[in-house]
Structure 1
């Protein structure tokens, strides 16, 4: 595969001036595409970047179906030009894409995962909240907080201590039999699986503090590529176990989410 070259003056490379999507392909077709397209459009509109045409986007996964699962990564930058932070007078957005074979970590579906609380706190920027822009330095710094392979994810709170997301997944919890996910109107990435679950009435938005997380009935981390990982152990920033949840063989939330992703027969 020949990868596209990004010129030195590309604004996505220089400033993170762009957005991206990570899409599960099943038999060459994008899963949850309407939700990915909606978030891509929302991100481009927030940044003032012209949205790629439907034809250009479809060409990134065209060219034959694959018998295996794949992940398609799409990157849209503002392109080149402009002096410093000033925008180019006539932007020429750059669309980059890559397809790679993929296999979900099914053991984590069945056995659950250990997650930890992160020290890093997310800053508030409502203009960028929810979109998947290219500047993900907060997530990069948070992911540096642990190297042990037995920890699958880190939970991130904002400056006020409210749970927002995991480093690369959304967070869901159960309380009194209902499933909730954090509000993302000030920071965080609004995932496409999350959006689909909310639109179907499976999940509701609510607030919970990172400190109160050990008190929830159940906890999950999930995204539209890996699916749903039940959390069986929560560690503090210092590695102290705060809570263990028994792995439940009957996980209705996971079942509903995996139906959306086509993982039912995996």
Structure 2
């Protein structure tokens, strides 16, 4: 029996990407990274809403969620735990920045085995470093998971110590925004806080899930304020809720808010990493 197709381009296992695709030329597109548990994806509807919103903002035609769902089931066939990446570009176009008059979007669905994290990461937390790379302020792209991830690439290149799992990113003005690959939450004076993403950063679906089940204050957050947190954790649609045990020399301890949200993540249907 042949192995399942793990990549579909425009619905075809033999599909090809045009070398003139604007996603390659300009990063003109968006993507979603979606956790699957068997043939279920607990946050699918949130991913589809963000994809639709992002495509609308960038004026890229978006396919129907049902088509994407059926294609996701094809690429995840046989995988018990999977991550599906949906990439949408504006498609091929003439040379230059002007939008094509009648865009023909490209969609790529690719499935990968879900990454396995050490149980210690969930129980005791991650070691994080403060990155030198700063996020540029661009409100028109703020919140969108667009294809230009060069800031994150440069930030991740700042360390090769395997003991450091993540990096903390600030914007040009020194405001705390997120981790390199996840959103950030802090408990300060008993209040659950997440940084504002009105100027830059990615509005993650796991972040949206936390906001839906807990009262969260969204505000600008300085490093000085962050150091006062009693709890610090990251949210990721792939990895769930991850406590932070340290940022450089500053030490944090997982607390009741983090633990409650880890439990909620498990109740959604994701694997119980703390079992």
Establish whether residue 182 from structure 1 lines up as the match of residue 190 from structure 2: no
Please name the residue that 1:19 is paired with.
30
Corresponding residue pairs, total? 260
The offset of 1:173, in angstroms, is 0.5
Please name the residue that 2:84 is paired with.
72
Query: 2:218 and 2:78 mapped to 1: Cα distance?
Result: 36
Q: Which aligned pairs between 1:101-140 and structure 2 lie closer than 5 A?
A: 101-105=113-117, 106-140=119-153
Deviations 1:207-262 (A, max 9, x none): 21124322211111120111111111111xxxxx1x11234588223223443352
Query: 1:203 and 1:130 mapped to 2: Cα distance?
Result: 17
Query: 2:18 and 2:120 mapped to 1: Cα distance?
Result: 40
Q: Is the 8 A contact 2:6 2:112 kept in 1?
A: no
Unmatched 5+ stretches in structure 1: 236-240
Please name the residue that 2:39 is paired with.
28
Please name the residue that 2:54 is paired with.
43
The offset of 1:107, in angstroms, is 2.8
Deviations 1:145-185 (A, max 9, x none): 11101001001011111110110100011112222111111
Please name the residue that 2:259 is paired with.
251
Please name the residue that 1:166 is paired with.
179
Q: Which aligned pairs between 1:152-231 and structure 2 lie closer than 5 A?
A: 152-231=165-244
Query: 2:115 and 2:28 mapped to 1: Cα distance?
Result: 30
RMSD after superposition: 2.0
Establish whether residue 83 from structure 1 lines up as the match of residue 95 from structure 2: yes
Q: Is the 8 A contact 1:161 1:211 kept in 2?
A: no
Q: Is the 8 A contact 1:26 1:66 kept in 2?
A: no
Q: Is the 8 A contact 1:121 1:158 kept in 2?
A: yes
Q: Secondary structure at the match of 1:99?
A: strand
Q: Is the 8 A contact 1:228 1:258 kept in 2?
A: no
**Which of residues 106, 118, 134 is equivalent to 1:94?**
106
The offset of 1:16, in angstroms, is 0.4
Distance 1:229 1:115, change over 3 A: same
Q: Is the 8 A contact 2:177 2:201 kept in 1?
A: yes
Q: Secondary structure at the match of 2:155?
A: helix
Q: Secondary structure at the match of 2:268?
A: helix
Query: 1:19 and 1:218 mapped to 2: Cα distance?
Result: 32
Q: Is the 8 A contact 1:23 1:31 kept in 2?
A: no
Distance 1:126 1:138, change over 3 A: same
Unmatched 5+ stretches in structure 2: 10-15
